[in-house]
Amino acid sequence: MAEFKEIIDAKAKSKFILQGNEALALWVIHAGFHAATGYPGTPSTEVIDKCLAIAQDRIKVDWSVNEAVAVSVGVGHAIAGYDAVVTMKIPGVFQAADAISTSAFFTGESGALVIFAVTDYVPSSTQHVIDSRYFFASTGLPVLEPRDHQEMYEISKIAADISKKFNTPVIVLASGILAHSDALIVTKSPREITPRDLSDNLKDWMLLPAIARSNYNKVTQERIPAIKKWCESSDLIKESKGTEDWGIIVSGESEIIVKEALKFVNVNPSMLSLAITYPLPENTIKAFAEKVRGKLFVIEDGYRFLEEKIRLLGIETTGKDELSTITNWTPEDILEYLSKHVDINYKPEKKIIDVKPILRPPSICPGCSYKSLALAVSRLKRKKKIYASFGDIGCSTLLYFFDALDTVSCMGASDSIRQGFVLSRPEMANKVISIIGDSTECHSGLDSTRNAVFRNVPGVKIILDNSITAMTGGQPAPSSNFNLKGQPHKFSLKKAVEAEGGRTVVIDAYDMEKIETELEEALELSEGGVFSTLIIEGVCIHEIDSKGLIRKIEFDYDKCKYCDLCDICPGIVLDETKTPHFTNLCTNCGMGEPICIQRCPFDAIVYMNDKEKDKLPPLEAPKIEQVHAIAIDKNILPESLGVAIRGIGGQGNLFFGKILSEVALRTPYADTHIIKGDTHGMAQLGGPVISTFKCGNVYSPIPAPKSIDVLVVMEISEV
């Protein structure tokens, strides 16, 4: 598996297995972009985090504090003549809606501005299911939807060219399925782009109301029609000839899902595939519809955006069923849907599940610095001292599974919701709290902190400060010591909160007693009109050196009373006799006092002596022998091969699929197609992590029914 920096310099026509986000990031470099910014958000994070961050010698890149700021930073790059990309997930689009919609009506000549937004129509890691195409269309911005991984690689160049040709920001709206699955990519020759000269007149970037009306007219009457005319003959439109008895119009990633389904039943209708959904190539759509004698289906992820636009052209279409809730098609969905309308050889089978999967809700990590607070809030709720805990987005959301969190809305909303509740029910100011993470506080939570002081709303706000943007994989936040470039900065979360004017208390995240004491005191003070912010500091467990995560504690079974109070962490399991044992997941609570020691009333968890520490088996990676390439006769290989990997451990499953993909790359399957997908258990409130691998005559990372040849089941064993 080549490192991203090596891939950047690979020769044209090199073949790699890349995640969709990696593919897009690679062509951002190859297309000559000068700058990138964004805010971390699954499933878009890897573009900057795992890729562009490694190429800082080739592109100006850093995280911004939120998406609205990131878009405006992108606008600044463009005004400076630089080509820029801004990354985010769909909730970030709406956080940045003002900046996006305003930038849409700038008409000055500038560098390219491309906004890369990733959908999550499952949803796997998003709090809502919204089709943002309606918003983008209302702003007049062109919307490109890459159809496969190769197009994910090539789309940023196309978007940059459109941006500069028509003086407009461009939206690349990518499917979360594409962004987080891997497939075979063939590279192209990179290009260098010279930044545009600075403009002598910046008035094209002024939007006084009268100018805004003039620009709106220009965008509506000139820019959008010009883009529409251009796209009619572009590579963003593909027509596949087949039977004209019925036809399909698809957009974006739906193309490969439909192809996977049609292959399963061996049918070949005519198909029009669109990688641009605003503005629509209306003439091409009309011409295609005229050729289809029977039903014309519209299949798209999200809502009925494309279907509605086509019907406005006077074309009769068959879209989703009236009450359909499908927003993310699978091959099985396609087959079941088509079987209701046309004659295909498919009958849906009723699934009979003999053994239901064990529910495994997502959890905070072993040793997480959030656990003490979770236990304290849960305890105070049981004692009726807390009625409700209003939560926020991030790792703190997982406190729900400790019964320490009741609600979650959008980024930064936790204390605003608490304030509204208290303003309506002032007598309950001492019965409700809000909880937010440090990076979310820096994103938009500080506004709520200021509002509580401004409106004199008493109560308690808790900031869980682990000095990182943890939920998306450990990206630096303003609360971190360094930014993405490794540069120190002067921002202090504590000083920022104190400057707002409320009472501020800082507590060690592993001091259980003080957390509960300070929380109770803050609740009491709120009865007298005091607004308190408790900042609970404890570094994310994944930011601690591995030497600090070695277990240093053990059970003294002579003292153990088998009370279960230590059963709060994956680092401890109880056997059939309720005897506790440490697992290899124990992190010793990082650099803090282990929570299990603090909870044990019998002093039955003790620190090991040095001799006992020496008995712990060392964890060493096995030595891997040099692998030699062997010649494989393609005639002995099956046309396609599918493997499903199921299990509890996350990264182990995904890594298994990655290895299979790299092996296939060294076989004749490299001349056909290779694809790997994954679905995280969090999307189902627990359950297994799923990884799929397919090669040969395949299209989609989501397999069709009965298309898997091998099932691999992995036990819980990862370290």
Least confident of 47-56, 601-610, 631-640, 675-684: 675-684
The reported pLDDT for the residue numbered 650 is 59
Least confident interval from 490-504, 509-523, 580-594, 670-684: 670-684
Residue range 634-649: mean pLDDT, rounded = 86
Are the C-beta atoms of 389 and 376 separated by less than 8 Å? Answer: no
**Tokens 């790299």, residue?**
662
**What confidence score (pLDDT) does residue 719 get?**
30
User: Rounded to the nearest 5°, which phi and psi values hold at 559?
Assistant: -100, -20
The 10s digit of each residue's pLDDT in 453-502 is: 999 999 999 999 999 999 988 999 999 999 999 999 999 999 999 999 99
> What integer is the mean pLDDT of 530-543?
96
The band of 26, judged by pLDDT with boundaries at 50, 70 and 90, is very high
Segment 612-636 mean pLDDT:
71
- Mean pLDDT for 170-178 is 96
Tell me how far CA of residue 693 lies from CA of 76, 182, 215, 617, in angstroms.
42, 9, 49, 34
Residue 617: predicted pLDDT: 60
Q: What are the backbone angles phi and psi of residue 507, rounded to the nearest 5°?
A: -135, 145
Direct distance between the N- and C-terminal alpha carbons of the chain, in angstroms, rounded to an integer: 21
Backbone φ/ψ region at 297: left (φ over 0), alpha (ψ -120 to 50), beta: beta
Q: Which residue has the higher pLDDT, 337 or 614?
A: 337
Q: Tell me: the pLDDT tens digits for 213-265?
A: 999 999 999 999 999 999 999 999 999 999 989 999 999 999 999 999 999 99
| Pairwise pLDDT comparison (709 vs 125), residue with the higher score | 709
Q: Looking at residues 671-693, what average pLDDT do you find? A: 71
How far, in Å, CA of 515 to CA of 31, rounded? 51
Q: What is the mean pLDDT of residues 629-654?
A: 82
Model confidence band, residue 685 (pLDDT cutoffs 50, 70, 90): very low
Give pLDDT, residue 611: 52
Please determine, for residue 613, whether its predicted confidence score (pLDDT) is greater than 70. Answer: no
Between 493 and 590, name the one with better pLDDT: 493
pLDDT > 90 in the chain, percent: 81
pLDDT digits (tens, 9 = 90+) for 411-427: 999 999 999 999 999 99
In three state form, how does the secondary structure of 91-114 look? Answer: HHHHHCHHHHHHHCCCCCCCCCEE
d(CA 699, CA 336): 19
How far apart, in Å, are the Cα atoms of 28 and each of 1, 31, 267, 381, 473?
21, 5, 37, 50, 22
Domains defined along the chain, listed by start: 1-232 (3.40.50.970), 239-340 (3.40.50.920), 369-539 (3.40.50.970), 634-718 (3.40.920.10)
Crossing angle of helices 149-166 and 224-231, rounded to 10°: 140
Q: State mean pLDDT over 321-344.
A: 93
68-72: average pLDDT? 98
| Residue owning tokens 């007049």 | 140
> Which whole number is the average pLDDT over 692-699?
95
pLDDT of residue 673: 96
CB 15 within 8 A of CB 63: no
Please state, in angstroms and as integers, the Cα–Cα distance from residue 331 to each residue in 253, 334, 455, 705, following that order. Answer: 12, 5, 53, 8
pLDDT above 70 (res 441): yes
pLDDT given for residue 718 in this prediction: 38
